[in-house]
Amino acid sequence: DAKTTQPPSMDCAEGRAANLPCNHSTISGNEYVYWYRQIHSQGPQYIIHGLKNNETNEMASLIITEDRKSSTLILPHATLRDTAVYYCIVRPQAAGNKLTFGGGTRVLVKP
Amino acid sequence: NAGVMQNPRHLVRRRGQEARLRCSPMKGHSHVYWYRQLPEEGLKFMVYLQKENIIDESGMPKERFSAEFPKEGPSILRIQQVVRGDSAAYFCASSRGTGEYTGELFFGEGSRLTVL
């Protein structure tokens, strides 16, 4: 699986948008970009994924650059409950492909 | 639709004892993954199983650890002769194998093993 690079930590003000960057310059054509988060002591939670088009769901938006070498996860209105470690992972969508977690970005939402 | 169920949530063992962790995947899911998270560290893949088959065990320690996913019943992660270094949170995830598959893995809340 392609390697990803994320900043180790970032702070965000409550109510503001949080923009989380991820670099994946070696991504392959069949690899999707997945985002998960882990709130303290809980199991990881799926957020969103995409291939090349921008995606939006009830939790977040995913913006993927045209060359697919980087992406940004946007939490539109961060709340205190969004404080977590956010993981950007690239891998094929096919069944049976495990997720390989890196260090992620530790996001602290401050009041 | 119940999520991934893991039990026990907390387990305390003395050195040399055995630990058994159970994982019931989501309904309709035939793929199970086990991950380990040591204190203050990231999630590390251990093993991936389908019903009655181990598909990828590249992350499993060579000794004392084993996993199974029988035709009936939950997946079991078994740790024999536990040592203090086995103290960690063990997470199970499941996914579909066919049909409307999005690549998403659904995680349980984990089993926290403490070895005294």
With an 8 Å Cβ cutoff, the interface of chain B facing chain A consists of: 4, 31, 33, 35, 42-45, 48, 50, 55-56, 89, 91, 93, 95-98, 101-110
The tens digit of pLDDT for each residue in B57-97 reads 999 998 999 999 999 999 999 999 999 999 999 999 998 86
State whether residue A38 is helix, strand or coil: strand
pLDDT in tens, B11-65: 999 999 999 999 999 998 889 999 999 988 889 999 999 988 999 999 999 899 9
Antiparallel, parallel or unpaired: β A31-38 and B53-56: unpaired
Token pair, residue A53, equals: 């088009």
Q: A with B: how many residue pairs have Cβ under 8 Å apart?
A: 64
Mutate to test the interface with B, among A32, A38, A98 (most CBs of B within 10 A): A98
- Beta-carbon contacts of B30 under 8 Å, excluding residues fewer than 6 positions away, are B50, B51, B96, B97
**What does the pLDDT read at residue A98?**
81
Question: Which chain B positions have a beta carbon within 8 Å of A42's beta carbon?
Answer: 109-110
- Rounded to whole angstroms, the Cα distance separating B76 from B4 reads 13
Given an 8 Å threshold on Cβ–Cβ distance, is A103 in contact with B42? yes
d(CA A98, CA A108): 27
Measured between CA atoms, the residue of chain B closest to residue A93 is B103
Question: CA A23 to CA A105: how far, in whole Å?
Answer: 12
Which residues of chain A fall below pLDDT 70? 1-2, 93-96
Query: How confident is the model at residue B113, as a pLDDT?
Result: 97
Q: Do B45 and A100 touch (CB under 8 A)?
A: yes
Could you write out the three-class secondary structure of A43-98?
CCEEEEEECCCCEECCCCEEEECCCCCEEEEEECCCCHHHCEEEEEEEEECCCCCC
Whether A67 and A109 have beta carbons less than 8 Å apart is answered as: no
Q: How confident is the model at residue B100 (pLDDT cuts 50, 70, 90)?
A: low
Q: Please give the Cα distance from B111 to A70 (Å, whole number).
A: 34
> If we measure between CA atoms, which residue out of B100, B43, B56 comes closest to residue A36?
B43
Question: CB distance B89–A41 less than 8 Å?
Answer: yes
